[in-house]
């Protein structure tokens, strides 16, 4: 019963088969393989963006950090939510790759930035004593498992663009957001004001690949050299391209995300029937955040359930009835039977 993270789940067989096929024979390296040209064409087609610049890297941290480094200068700041992955979980990689550019964190319920908070933060950048406003970074799906709709993205990018700021989207779980919202990829990105998307594959059935998509190629002029300088250009790039090609083939990426989302909804609905359970955020994608009595979490762990306590200061030691916040994440492989087993262990 592994619900710690979608990173803990398996790669999809179609992705593994594609990697095995890519291992046959010889091909140019460093992105010169034919598969990379096909990936670029496919992403341009999916996003209705014929001029988009597409690059692949092996990790989400590399994707975000290198993309943001192309958008800001060292004396500028990136505005992001205070729980954003770029702030909490990337060990200052965005600041490192952007030569010291700062992150400025903003409030907002359920993982979503409030437009007024963004406007106020931009307005507060005055004088040479302050870092200058540099860019906006949104995470979709958010770290709270919630979503920005196309309208919500447009509202926030409108505030940023009025101040002349480019806009980045951390899409480690973009497929989950898209599958839940049912809109077009273009409507959730460049049509809503996003300049660069980090399109995740690792959390949704790939071995390890992310696509960095610059909808305005001019924004990505530095990317290739930054990727090489940062040690993130794969020589055997064919194995990244093979993963991404299989991931996108026939809409597999959206099918896998829809499976993960459905499992999370089933879990959220089941938790509503457990005494003492309280959802902390709406379940809109593939993650469920819930406060549960410590005794229930302890009993579930003893029965094999694996999950994260969301506050790192919390432990399972202490009074039985005290509520403790926990995160349960569903990956594409989660079945109804596994969700039912978790609910039984908690109940």
User: What is the tens place of the pLDDT at every residue in 187-207?
Assistant: 999 999 999 999 999 999 999
Percent of the chain whose predicted confidence (pLDDT) is above 70? 100
The CATH number of domain 258-346 is 3.90.1150.10: yes
Q: Is the dihedral of CA 289, 295, 300, 301 positive or negative?
A: positive
Taking only the tens place, the pLDDT of each residue in 118-127 is 999 999 988 8
Domains 11-252 and 258-346 share a fold: no
Domain boundaries, the chain: 11-252, 258-346
Q: What is the pLDDT of residue 190?
A: 98
Of 39, 43, 33, nearest to 197 by C-alpha is: 43
Q: What is the pLDDT of residue 310?
A: 93
Spell out the residues 6+ positions from residue 17 whose beta carbon is closer than 8 angstroms to its own: 246
Token look-up 């700021």 returns: 165
Q: What is the pLDDT of residue 299?
A: 96
pLDDT (average), residues 248-265: 98
Q: What is the pLDDT of residue 158?
A: 98
Q: What is the pLDDT of residue 125?
A: 86
Q: What is the pLDDT of residue 129?
A: 85
Pairing relationship of beta strands 287-293 and 278-279 according to DSSP bridges: antiparallel
Residues listed for the chain: 347
Taking only the tens place, the pLDDT of each residue in 271-323 is 999 999 999 999 999 999 999 999 999 999 999 999 999 998 999 999 989 99
For residue 12, pLDDT over 90 is answered with yes
Q: Tell me the C-alpha distance between 95 and 77, whole Å.
A: 9
Pick the CATH number of 11-252 from 3.40.190.10, 3.40.640.10, 3.40.1280.10, 3.40.710.10: 3.40.640.10
Query: How much is the pTM?
Result: 0.97
Q: How confident is the model at residue 164 (pLDDT cuts 50, 70, 90)?
A: very high
For residue 100, pLDDT over 90 is answered with yes
């Amino acid at each position: 019963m592994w619900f710690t993270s979608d990173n803990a789940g398996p790669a999809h067989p179609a992705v593994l088969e594609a990697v095995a096929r890519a291992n046959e024979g010889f091909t140019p390296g460093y992105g010169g393989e034919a598969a990379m040209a096909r990936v670029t064409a496919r992403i341009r087609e999916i996003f209705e963006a014929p001029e988009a610049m597409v690059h692949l890297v092996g990790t989400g941290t590399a994707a975000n950090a290198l993309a943001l480094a192309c958008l800001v200068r060292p004396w500028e700041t990136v505005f992001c939510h205070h729980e954003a992955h770029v702030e909490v979980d990337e060990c200052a990689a965005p600041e490192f790759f952007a030569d010291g550019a700062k992150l400025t964190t903003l409030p907002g319920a359920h993982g979503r930035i409030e437009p007024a908070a963004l406007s106020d933060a931009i307005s507060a950048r005055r004088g040479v004593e302050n870092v200058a406003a540099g860019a906006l970074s949104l995470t979709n799906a958010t770290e709270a498992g919630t979503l920005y709709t196309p309208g919500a993205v447009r509202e926030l990018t409108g505030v940023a663009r009025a101040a002349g700021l480019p806009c980045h989207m951390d899409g480690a779980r973009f497929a989950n957001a898209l599958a839940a919202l049912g809109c077009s990829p273009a409507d959730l990105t460049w049509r809503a004001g996003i300049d660069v998307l980090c399109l995740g594959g690792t959390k949704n059935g790939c071995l390890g690949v992310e696509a960095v998509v610059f909808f305005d190629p001019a924004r990505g002029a530095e990317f290739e050299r930054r990727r090489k300088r940062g040690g993130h250009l794969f020589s055997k790039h064919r194995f990244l391209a093979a993963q991404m090609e299989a991931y996108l083939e026939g809409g597999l990426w959206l099918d896998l995300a829809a499976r993960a989302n459905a499992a999370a909804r089933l879990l959220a609905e089941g938790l509503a029937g457990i005494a003492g359970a309280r959802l902390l955020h709406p379940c809109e994608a593939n993650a469920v955040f819930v406060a549960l009595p410590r005794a229930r979490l302890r009993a579930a762990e003893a029965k094999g359930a694996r999950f994260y306590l969301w506050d790192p200061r919390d432990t399972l030691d202490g009074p039985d009835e005290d509520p403790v916040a926990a995160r349960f994440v569903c990956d594409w492989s989660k079945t109804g039977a596994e969700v039912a087993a978790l609910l039984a262990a908690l109940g």
